């Protein structure tokens, strides 16, 4: 028996036979051609066939997955229509007199490498999209069959180097009990799909998983990010008990999912969801979320060729707000920048994009982007409980500047006779250490804070969360990060302002007692975690957790902190074991 460590991509445990997802290698040799125009015609015909295939997959995805998952394939169609990509392929054919397949392979690889090199994890994962599309065209040009899953006949753990969006859609989901990839990240399509389906997944497990034979038994722990090869009978029995325990706990938490998160000593805590589309809104309500702590608006800007209009944004925001009625919805304004390449925005490349002109900094110098979004949000918020939140705030002056633009938009809408939300709360994401340090000043400028622990941890620990070499430092359980969180909450409460958290830490069971003890008012997380966190909160005494949090802040390492919480709150230890 051997245990491999990877990236926890989707929570849960599964046991099953391995199914090695192996594609036929696409071998393309460089060769010269006499008739470049003939090759270009071959290319264009292959692209048209690829478009037809993708359209069929899109329709299949609409019936088997969510509309949001299906939109991936609309993006694939856009890649096939990208004039920059296609012109590069044709230019290579004409100037180098190479074959269509060689030109496509080389160009797709170049574009994919450029995307993979971006600092942002989401956009680095989009490199897979480009290679998926490029390889589809290559298979057509080479006459290679598409699907390697014809022999998948029994429920299995899918093992692969990595999986493309097309791969995941074409799989028979009834036969998938888990995903394990040698490469990939927590934001890869495989991980996103697995979380959406509630299937355990581990990414980045390394090449050794690819050596496992189809049919061999594997235990996959998506909560811890571990893969157990050739497990003993005792190990299998142990994990079967864990699976049964987790199911019992999940069933119990779902029975009470729509009840308030009231602690044993009577403190009510708000538990809400992080979403990025209307499907996420419906999932949130089903799981008992009491609103939205983070509505990511980037979904309207990505994978398209023009800025979304004010009307498009209004319709999208209103559809989401309507799902929640009078429940609160916190809309985060556009959070993109130099590390998130959106070609039609004309953003300049920056040598250190994480510290560059992004998020609110970008919006303040681009009113053509900022004002239509604010106008759409103000219109959508009429008779709804909308709150607006600005990301990546470093100084109080930025908040004042943003509020000034918001008031300009409100004045414009009034002058045009258009209804707009008047009395909405305005908040900021606290995700930069400078904002935490001057939180007492910022609290005077806003109605609430929402702590973004992913970036707060990254900036505090000076550890790029997308870099595996410093992954151990990118951990929000470090006392430096937890002390900043306490500082933020204390500063806000001193001004009678409420504090939420929309980073990954908010949905982490081991962090729940600490955050409750630190005084966090609102926990926001992925919809499936809502029932579990609510159940944990109902089982805790808020006053006792204050003492626990005080002791936690004196410890030195994340491991010490996590073990201490397990000792003090044994039922959580059972939950995360």
Integer CA distances (angstroms), 8 to 159, 201, 260, 481, in order? 15, 7, 29, 21
CB 169 within 8 A of CB 57: yes
**What would the DSSP string read from start to end of 434-496?**
HHHHTHHHHTTT-SEEEE-HHHHHHHHHT--TT-GGGGGG--TTSHHHHHHHHHHHHHHHHTT
Rounded distance between C-alpha atoms, residue 73 and residue 57, angstroms: 7
- The catalytic position among 76, 189, 363, 420 is 189
274 is in an annotated binding site: no
Integer CA distances (angstroms), 536 to 88, 263, 392, in order? 55, 9, 30
DSSP state of 295: E
318 is in an annotated binding site: no
CB 107 within 8 A of CB 88: yes
CB 157 within 8 A of CB 18: yes
Q: Is 358 helix (H, G, I), strand (E, B) or coil?
A: coil
Q: What angle do CA 510, 178, 238 make, to 5 degrees?
A: 60
454 is in an annotated binding site: yes
101 is in an annotated binding site: no
How many CA atoms lie less than 13 Å away from 307 in the CB half-sphere?
A: 16
Is 256 marked active-site?
no
- The catalytic position among 98, 409, 420, 502 is 502
CB 530 within 8 A of CB 284: yes
DSSP state of 562: H
The H or E element containing residue 52 is helix 36-64
Is 189 marked active-site?
yes
465 is in an annotated binding site: yes
Integer CA distances (angstroms), 506 to 203, 387, 513, in order? 22, 19, 11
Q: Which residues are catalytic?
A: 189, 502
Binding residues: 296, 332, 431, 454-455, 465
Binding residues for Mg(2+): 431, 455
Binding residues for phosphoenolpyruvate: 296, 332, 454-455, 465
């Amino acid at each position: 028996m051997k245990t491999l460590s990877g990236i926890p991509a989707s929570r849960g445990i599964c046991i099953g036979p391995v199914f090695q997802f192996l594609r036929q290698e696409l071998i393309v040799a460089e060769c010269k051609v006499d008739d470049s125009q003939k090759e270009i015609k071959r290319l264009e015909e292959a692209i048209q066939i690829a478009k037809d295939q993708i359209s069929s997959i899109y329709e299949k995805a609409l019936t088997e997955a969510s509309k949001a998952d299906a939109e991936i394939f609309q993006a694939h169609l856009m890649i096939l229509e990208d004039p920059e990509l296609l012109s590069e392929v044709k230019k290579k054919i004409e100037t180098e007199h190479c074959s269509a397949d060689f030109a496509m392979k080389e160009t797709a690889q170049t574009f994919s490498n450029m995307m993979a090199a971006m600092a942002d994890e989401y956009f680095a994962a989009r490199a897979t999209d480009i290679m998926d599309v490029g390889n589809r065209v290559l298979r057509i040009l080479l006459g290679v069959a598409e699907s390697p899953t014809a022999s998948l006949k029994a429920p299995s753990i899918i093992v692969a180097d990595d999986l493309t969006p097309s791969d995941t859609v074409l799989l028979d989901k009834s036969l998938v009990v888990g995903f394990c990839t040698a490469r990939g990240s927590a934001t890869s399509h495989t991980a996103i799909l697995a979380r959406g389906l509630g299937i355990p997944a581990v990414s980045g497990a390394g090449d050794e998983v690819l050596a496992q034979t189809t049919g061999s038994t594997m235990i996959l722990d998506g909560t811890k990010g571990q893969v157990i090869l050739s497990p003993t009978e005792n190990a299998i029995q142990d994990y079967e008990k864990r699976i049964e325990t987790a199911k019992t706990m999940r069933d119990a938490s779902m029975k009470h999912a729509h009840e308030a998160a009231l602690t044993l000593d009577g403190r009510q805590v708000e538990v809400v969801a992080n979403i990025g589309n209307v499907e996420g809104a419906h999932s949130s309500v089903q799981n008992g979320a009491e609103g939205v702590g983070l509505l990511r608006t980037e979904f309207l800007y990505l994978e398209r060729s023009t800025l979304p209009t004010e009307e498009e944004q209004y319709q999208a925001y209103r559809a989401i707000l309507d799902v929640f009625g009078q429940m609160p919805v916190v809309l985060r304004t556009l959070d993109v920048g130099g590390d998130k390449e959106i070609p039609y925005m004309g953003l300049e490349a920056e040598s250190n994009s994480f510290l560059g002109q992004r998020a609110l900094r970008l919006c303040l110098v681009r009113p053509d982007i900022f004002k239509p979004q604010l106008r759409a949000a103000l219109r959508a918020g009429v008779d709804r409980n909308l709150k607006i939140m600005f990301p990546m705030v470093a100084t109080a002056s930025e908040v004042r500047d943003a509020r000034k633009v918001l008031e300009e938009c409100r004045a414009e809408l009034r002058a045009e006779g258009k209804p707009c939300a008047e009395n909405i709360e305005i908040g900021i994401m606290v995700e930069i250490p400078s904002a935490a340090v001057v939180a007492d000043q910022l609290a005077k400028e806003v109605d609430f804070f929402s702590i973004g622990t992913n970036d707060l941890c990254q900036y505090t620990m000076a550890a790029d969360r997308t870099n595996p070499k410093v992954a151990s430092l990118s951990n929000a359980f470090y006392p430096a990060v937890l002390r900043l969180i306490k500082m933020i909450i204390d500063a806000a409460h001193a001004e009678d302002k409420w504090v939420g958290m929309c980073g990954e830490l908010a949905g982490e069971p081991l962090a729940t007692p600490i955050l409750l003890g630190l005084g966090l008012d609102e926990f926001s997380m992925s919809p499936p975690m809502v029932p579990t966190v609510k159940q944990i909160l109902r089982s805790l005494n808020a006053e006792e957790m204050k003492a626990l949090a005080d002791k936690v802040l004196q410890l030195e390492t994340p491991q010490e902190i996590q073990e201490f919480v397990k000792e003090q709150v044994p039922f959580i230890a059972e939950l995360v074991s």
